[in-house]
Structure formats: structure tokens, C-alpha cells
Amino acid sequence: MTNIDSFVERDDVDALEIAPEAGWNALYLDGEWVAGGDRDAIPVEDPATRSTVTTVPHATEDDVDEAFAVAETAQEEWAKRPPQERAAIVSEAGDLLGSYADDLATLFALECGGVQLKADFEIQLAQGTIDVGAGLAMRASGRHKQSVTPGKENLVVREPAGVVGVITPWNFPLYLTSRVVAPALALGNSVVIKPDEHTPVTGGLVLAKVFEEAGLPDGVLNVVPGYGDEIGDHFSGHPTPSVMSFTGSSEIGRRVGQHAVGSYTEPALELGGNNAHVVLEDADLERAIDAGAFGSFTHQGQECISINRHLVHESLYDEYVAGLADRAASLPIGDPLEEGSLVGPVINESQRDKIVGFLEESVERGATIEAGGDHDGLFVEPTVLSGVSADMPVACNEHFGPVAPVIPFESDEEAIRIANDTEYGLSGSVHSTDLERARDVADALETGMVHINDQPLNDEPHVPFGGVGASGMGRYNDEWILEILTTTKWISVQREPREYPY
């Protein structure tokens, strides 16, 4: 096994047991680790230090074609395997992830700036979705339907969709890949992954490694890292896959969906959000602040379901702002590999500049920074702003950073109007000691998910996950992803002679 010090200049990093001998410098095609050769290289940079962690090959369009071709060939035999055999391999991969938890935490820190708390969450989520996904192998059952034709028997059978293309993001790369790959494989599909160029290891190559160790047949899972603006269109518009799963921005998701539909491929899109945390005047203030801090600053706010706007009743506004500012100022910022760090770096300069730009523009328009507001390299301070209106850049855009704009409202109706005044509809939260009132507000929010007396940063592998509007199409998890990853076929049997009119 490769010692990570051979390709990372960090004295405090131990050997990674899950690194292949080449230090991740390979594609994974048809069960083989294919060296980069004369392909261009993608440098993977540590957001905390801006040093190069490793390099991976930049797959070509020919590599993408090969990956889909071998996946198509392997899928037929894989689908014939007994469901319990497919489930056992998927489950074994989940167990292997757990055994590599320490190494994965290091990789999360080095690739996407994830602190230990985030690593714990992501590994737990990944194992949970793999467990539930494995169970789907035994649940892809058919149905018997009565016929309007005498002597006819109707069967509705469920079959694997075929080849599944997966394009994954950099923020929770292992989990957001696992939630597609595990159920897809368990149901008899084959998979080709194009991980985000920032996180090709945790977003794809790690899964290739653990599924290889778990005994997955060659060709059933393939990984082709590459820059989205160079091979993304070819990947998302490829004629081979039956399903194209994408998690990422709404802008890119629209493009992916258009390419997929153009190739008669079903898109499954989980996109951006502008999630509101609504605090009614009868809310438990401390509880609402606790939830607000967690929902805004976990993993530097780099989640599609993090809180983007805090909507607080005017009677609680000043206390809420002060309390949230205190929480923000108390959070330890530092290198994710340092013990005790809760806020790490944002992913890259482009993301930092976008966040800083939204802050500066909003302050120019009258917002006040109550905590944070500064940055050092890619470390952006947890920031709380008061005096924010819904049309300020920090509130009307998905800022995707450790930023908490707080907006006052007078009535439940106004809170609902502000919350719904966005093209997005992913998640949200409502705080009130009157659960019936909170439910009324939750029902009125135009989102795919709402959490009462909590915050939007929630995901469980057995409940539907997804949004409406610019937040995406389709639902992930359990039976809802089963619908996407399988197709139904109507088979009828005419058991008795049928009379025809001619």
C-alpha cells in the first residue's frame, strides 16, 4: 500500500490503507486500474494549504465510451446474479467503508476541506444508504393485475434500468455517490461514475476500490475522472445509459438534463437550494439558534440543504441575531486535520470570491455584519448579517458558504411569502412551540422537504430526498430511487382462446 507522504507534503498524515499502489493516479475501467499514460493530469489540491494532494488522469471521450461499453456488456450477466448475491456484495462494500473510517476522514480533509465532524456524518450517511440500497435487491418485485379481457393474465414485472451514469459533486462526494451506486448495483444495474474534478478519490475511486475488494465483477462499476467542461457533455449525453444521475448546481443540472433527455435517458437531478429557516414568534429561541448555527455553518455551509436565509419574527429578531452571532464567533476555524477544528476551508478561490462578493454587495446595500465577515486564504469566517432584505445578493442567491443572513418578518403569511420567493424548492425548517401552527407553515412552503423544530440539514436513507422547481427532478433513497433505477414491463398471458372481431 502507498504511504500518503509519497504524494502529499503533510508531516501529520499516516499511511492510507485504501490507496492503491499508484497513489490514485489511475482510471478504473473493466476491473483494471488504468495508468494515466499520456493523458492530461488533474491536480487534486488541499483547500487548507493549496498544496497538491495527488494527481489523477483526465479521462478522454474515448475513455468514457469504453467505460459505458464495458458497463453495458457486464450488466447483462450481473443482472442474472441472484438478488441475495448482489445484496451481499453491496453490503460488504459498506462494511469496508466503515473499516476505513480513519483513512476516509483524512481523505475528506485533504480533498474537500472536511473536518472530523463532517467526516463522521458522511461515513454514517454512506453506510446507511448502502445498507438500505442493498436491501432493495430483494424488493424489486412485480405485480399481478386483473385484465378486462377474458382469459388473460396481466403481470407487471420490474427490471434493472441497465447502465446508470453518475455525475457527483465535491461537497459530500462519498455519500452522494454511494446513494446512487449502492441501489443501482443491488438492483442489477451497472454504473459509470464521473466524479467532480475536486474530489475524484472520495467521489469515485474509493468506491471502485471497496467494491473491487467486496468481489464486484469486472466492468460492473467504472470510474472516469475528468473536468466537467471538457467531458461532461459527452458523458451526460451518451446514448448508452438508461439513467443519468446528477447532483450539483441548478445551472449545470439543467444542461445535464437536456443532454440526457436528448439521448432518451431518464434524468435524476438533485440541484441547488435557497432554504429558509423560519422562526415564528412563539419559537423556543435557544433551540432555534442552536439549529440555525448547525444548519448554516456545518461544512462551511457547502450543502444544497444548508440554511441560506434565516427568517425571524420581528419580536425575536434582535435576540436571535445576537445569539447566532455569539455562536458564529465561538466556532473554531482551522486545518481540518487539526483536532477540534469545526470550520475548515471552502473548496476553492472561485467559491470564496463568490461568497465574499455577495457579502460586500449586501453590506453596500445596507446589511450589517454582526459576526465574521473576514477571510484568510480559503478560510471564510462564519458570518452573521442583520438588516438584510430578501433581495440582497446574500439572500436571493445560493451563497453556498458559512453565511447567515437574518431577515425580519411581521406575520406568518409574510414569512411564507419570503420563503417561497425563490426559484428553488429543496428544503426548509420551521420553529414554533405550537406544532399545529408550525405544520400549517410547513405545508405552505413550496419545497420537497421541511423540518419542524429542526433545521434543513437532514437526510435519512429510508425517506424521500429531493426538491421542486430549480432544485431538481425525482427523489433519492429507498423505494423512491428504486422507481428511477428500474423499469416496469407489462407481460400478458392469454390463457384461454380469445374471440376477435374478424
- What nine digits make up the cell of 91? 453490503
Across 77-103, b (16+ Cβ under 10 Å) vs e yields: ebbebebeebbbbbbbbbebbeebeeb
> What does the angle CA 143 – CA 145 – CA 149 come to, to the nearest 5 degrees?
150
Q: Classify residue 60 by burial, with Cβ atoms within 10 Å: 0-12, 13-18, 19+.
A: middle
Cα–Cα distance measured from residue 4 to residue 422, given in angstroms and rounded to the nearest whole number = 44
Q: Furthest-apart CA pair in the chain: how many Å?
A: 85
Whole-number Å distance between alpha carbons of 134 and 88: 7
Query: CA 464, CA 480: separation in Å to the nearest integer?
Result: 6
Instruction: Give CA separation, 111 vs 114, 153, 391, in Å.
Output: 8, 55, 34
CA distance 260 to 243: 8
339-344 contact pairs (CB < 8 A, 24+)? 339/116, 341/115, 341/116, 342/115, 342/117, 342/297, 343/115, 343/297, 343/300, 343/379, 343/381, 343/382, 343/402, 344/47, 344/48, 344/109, 344/113, 344/114, 344/115, 344/118, 344/299, 344/300, 344/379
Find how far residue 42's CA is from the centre of its chain.
22
Q: Which residues form the catalytic set? A: 270, 304
Of 271, 126, 146, the closest CA to residue 211 belongs to 126
Residues in the chain: 502
What is the rounded CA–CA span in Å between residue 142 and residue 156? Answer: 5
Phi, psi at residue 27, to the nearest 5°? -90, 165
Q: Which helix (H) or strand (E) holds 379?
A: strand 379-380
Place of cell 448508452: 240
Instruction: Pull the grid cell for residue 309.
Output: 436565509
DSSP, res 459: -
